[in-house]
Structure 1
Amino acid sequence: MEITNDSSPRAVSRTAEGRVAAGRAFAWLLVLGGGAGLIASWGITLDKIKLLYDPNYTPGCSINSVVSCSDIMASDQASVFGFPNSMLGLVAYGIVVCVGVSLLAGGRFRRWYWLTLHAGTLFGIGFCTWLQFESLYRINAVCLWCCLAWIATTVLFWYMTSFNFRHGVLPVPGWVKVFFSEFAWALPVLHIGIIAILILVRWWDFWTS
């Protein structure tokens, strides 16, 4: 068994049975990222419930005609699967937090477990990307809670991808491992920066008026 005491996100332990354990930094990233998404989902869910009781209720994150959670919550896109998207977030982000806590407790997981978690983050980033397009170009509004969930999902996806690449859960060329070992932070920063630029450009006249 090979064990590393490195606390960076690159730290990993692999047992003879093929189970892999991440370092504490990566575990905390899952806990904090999942927690941020959980808070966003909980905030949206509470506001949605209040809107059901009182159609005239204005969520605290509805600031103006652009930053308007009310418009987002009232849209068809907010309930793609027949129930509020935030309820899906409560489950998904809760799972991520549980995985992070399990790693902090010394948990080690087999390859299929990491691949399943990676698939979940891939679905999450794909779903968020679609919601971002709908929000900017169909609903014509953004939600601050949603933005928090988008950021959390983006960070979780790229660091989960980095983890699986660097530790052989997904086979990739050596240069890919080196890139993700040194610049794992770059892709989530670039991704979030692009989203911010799209939001800025979409309502440029509004922001500058």
Structure 2
Amino acid sequence: MPDEPVEAVGTEGDADDTDDEYADEFPVATSSLGRGQPSEHEQAGGTRREYAILTIVAGVLGVLAAIELMLDYLRVLADPNYVPACDINPLVGCGMFLGSWQSSVLGIPNTVIGMVAFPVLITTGILLLVRLRLPRWYWRGLLVGATFGIGFVTWLQYQAITQIRALCPYCLVVWLVMIPFFVHTVARAMQNGSLPVPDGVRAFVVPNRWLITVIWYLLVVAAAAFGLGADWLTVF
């Protein structure tokens, strides 16, 4: 299918009527979120409200976390003795991260990347919430960005647990939003054809996207629990 231009498609009710017109071609279009079969609107680059709202929430929380980290970063630069308010105990705090080389691994503070990237999520979510259909090249770019983001977050998780051996509260917020954003972006890209996969893969990933998200969360929690080991005793 060639790339579709960005276009408005009317109200929520109109979209549901349109989906019904394609019922013969897409037998499960009316329950596409549950079974993985894309509706006509989703095939054309649109999505349902769930993903749009998730993307907006992820973007807003990500921007707020990035701003707070940037403010603390600037305060530390101005006063090396400054103690960030998020420094709760030896295991939970921002100061040890802001002073590490991992905080600027790409040559610029990681917070700058967040302040640039997360507004894109907010904008994307708003466009989808008003039922605009985004072209395939945009979905593929969003998927590339989500993949880079989750890869970077996973690397930072490894560094936090095994090298820095501490947890940054604002970083935890970024971890919290990036995991579901990545999983759901993959699911949506599968639905609209931006990420070609066998029907069986799509039929598994799309309806189980929240289950995959929860399992991912549990794996991160388990890694932190076991990886930090005796360091947890400093909290009590």
**One-letter amino acid of the structure 2 residue matched with residue 108 of structure 1:** R
**Higher CA-based Rg:** 2
Please point out which of 4, 28, 36 is paired with 2:61. Answer: 36
Structure 2: runs of 5+ lacking an equivalent:
1-8, 20-29
Could you tell me how far 1:93 is from its partner in structure 2? 0.7
Pair 1:124–1:21, CA change in 2 (3 A): same
Aligned partners of 1:84 and 1:181: how far apart in 2? 35
Q: Are 1:155 and 2:180 an aligned pair? A: yes
Tell me, yes or no, if the aligned pair for 2:162 and 2:228 is still in contact at 8 Å.
Answer: no
Aligned to 2:136: 111
- 1:58-114 CA-partner distances (Å, limit 9, x unpaired): 112111111121011100110112221011001111111110011122321111110
TM-score (norm 1): 0.90
Say how many residue pairs are matched. Answer: 207
Structure 1: runs of 5+ lacking an equivalent:
none
Aligned partners of 1:139 and 1:158: how far apart in 2? 27
Tell me, yes or no, if the aligned pair for 1:35 and 1:93 is still in contact at 8 Å.
Answer: yes
Please point out which of 110, 120, 123 is paired with 1:85. Answer: 110
Tell me, yes or no, if the aligned pair for 1:66 and 1:141 is still in contact at 8 Å.
Answer: yes
Q: Are 1:131 and 2:156 an aligned pair? A: yes
Query: Which deviates more from structure 2 when the two are superposed, residues 133-142 or residues 83-92?
Result: 133-142
Please point out which of 16, 19, 23 is paired with 1:4. Answer: 16
Aligned partners of 1:8 and 1:37: how far apart in 2? 31
TM-score (norm 2): 0.80
Report 1 or 2 for greater relative contact order, CA contacts < 8 Å, sequence distance ≥ 6.
Answer: 2
Aligned partners of 1:153 and 1:101: how far apart in 2? 18
Tell me, yes or no, if the aligned pair for 1:41 and 1:86 is still in contact at 8 Å.
Answer: yes
Pair 1:9–1:146, CA change in 2 (3 A): farther
Give the CA RMSD over aligned residues: 2.4
Please point out which of 176, 195, 216 is paired with 1:170. Answer: 195
**One-letter amino acid of the structure 1 residue matched with residue 151 of structure 2:** G
Aligned to 1:20: 45
